[in-house]
Amino acid sequence: MSGTKTVSKKCVSCKNTSEHVVWKEPHGPQIGTIFSRTKMLGMKKYYLICPVCSTVERELTREQVDAMKNN
C-alpha cells in the first residue's frame, strides 16, 4: 500500500522492534455537508499496530502523526 506510514519502535507486548503501521480510524459517517466533514477530520483517531503480534498499542494524536511526515 502506498502512503502507508510506519514507525520503527519496540512493541510493549512481544518486545520485537519492528515497523509499526499507523492506522487511521475515522469516526462517524463519511457523508454530509462540508462543515460536518471538516469536523470529522478532527475526530480521526490514529493507532500503532504491531506487525508481529497485531497488538494495537496506543492512540496517537493528529499532531504526532503530522510530526512523522517531517521525518
21 binds Zn ion (CB under 5 A): no
Which residues 36-55 are close enough to bind Zn ion by CB under 5 A?
50, 52-53, 55
Measured CA to CA, the distance from residue 20 to residue 47 in angstroms comes to 9
Which single residue is written with the C-alpha cell 503530522?
66
| Binding residue count for Zn ion, defined by CB under 5 A | 7
13 binds Zn ion (CB under 5 A): yes
Q: Nearest distance from residue 48's CB to Zn ion, in Å?
A: 10
Sign of the CA dihedral running 59, 62, 67, 70: positive
12 binds Zn ion (CB under 5 A): no
